[in-house]
Structure 1
Amino acid sequence: MTIQINTDNNVENSARLKQYFTEELEKSLARFDDRVTRIEVHFTDENGDKFGLDDKRCVIEARPENMPPVAVTEHADTIEKAFSGALDKIKKVLTTTFEKKRTY
């Protein structure tokens, strides 16, 4: 599973930040490792330098093998909270997606 972290110009893009989010994704989505080829994370600050409530957005897109991509979005007041909410959502979406595909 390939993981790619993207940020806009208003979000700090440090190696430490990328490493933390990559490790969290690998740990949380380990059970999907053989069925998901790529995970892309996009962080944006919708207000830029201005203050705003829930203006940080995290979009996580997962690309399951031989299936269309699925994506979730979460807004929060920090990128960490937005990431956490989006990670919970993508786990639920992937679980549901693979359960529907399972043959009995």
Structure 2
Amino acid sequence: MQIQVNASNGIENKDALERWADGEIKGTLSRFAEEVTRVEVHLSDETTGKSGGGDKRCTMEARLAHHQPVAVTHDAPSQDEAFRGALAKLKRMVEHTLDRIEGRRDRDSIRKDVDIAPE
């Protein structure tokens, strides 16, 4: 699983952030290592230089093997909260998407083994 972290100008310590984010994402999504090929993280400070809560935004996109990518966004007062909130949402979204795909494969058709009696 490849991890790419993109940060806007208002985000500090990008190198340390990339190492930390890589470990957090791989740990949280380890169960889906076969299905998730890449995760892109976009961190931004929506109100650079201004005061106010909820100004950090984290958007994560997971690329799933042989499926459409899924993306989530989380806004929070701190970078850490935005990242953790987005990661929790991404985990739920990946679980839901893969469960839905697996469920469709395993589901029996209602049209299977139906005897139609001639009139």
- Regarding TM over 0.5, the answer is yes
**1:52 — aligned with what?**
52
Greater Rg, structure 1 or structure 2? Answer: 2
Q: Which runs of 4+ in 1 moved over 3 A?
A: none
Q: Given the alignment of the two structures, is residue 67 of structure 1 paired with residue 45 of structure 2, yes or no?
A: no
Give the root-mean-square deviation of aligned CA atoms: 0.8
The sequence identity of aligned pairs, in percent, is: 41
1:58 is paired with a residue of what secondary structure?
strand
Tell me, what secondary structure is at the counterpart of 1:38? strand
Query: Offset at 1:76?
Result: 0.4
Which residue identity does 1:92 align to in structure 2? R
Task: Please give the residue correspondences for 1:21-36 in structure 2 after superposition, counting only pairs within 5 Å.
Answer: 21-36=21-36
TM-score normalised to structure 1 length: 0.96
Give the TM-score of the pair, scaled to structure 2.
Answer: 0.84
| Stretch deviating more after TM superposition (21-30 or 9-18) | 9-18
Residue matched to 1:38: 38
Q: Which has the higher contact order (CA 8 A, sep 6+)?
A: 1
* Cα distance in structure 2, aligned partners of 1:8 and 1:52: 18
Gaps of 5+ in 1: none
Q: Which residue of 1 aligns with 2:80?
A: 80
Output the amino acid matched with 1:60.
M
* Structure 2 unmatched ranges of 5 or more: 107-119
Contact 2:7 2:14 in 1 (8 A): no
Which residue in the other structure is 2:117 paired with? none
CA–CA distance in structure 2, aligned partners of residues 5 and 24 of structure 1: 12
Cα displacement (A) at 1:13:
4.0
Contact kept, 8 Å, 2:2 with 2:37, in 1: the verdict is yes
Look up the match of 2:15.
15
Mapped to 2, the partners of 1:13 and 1:40 lie a distance apart of: 18
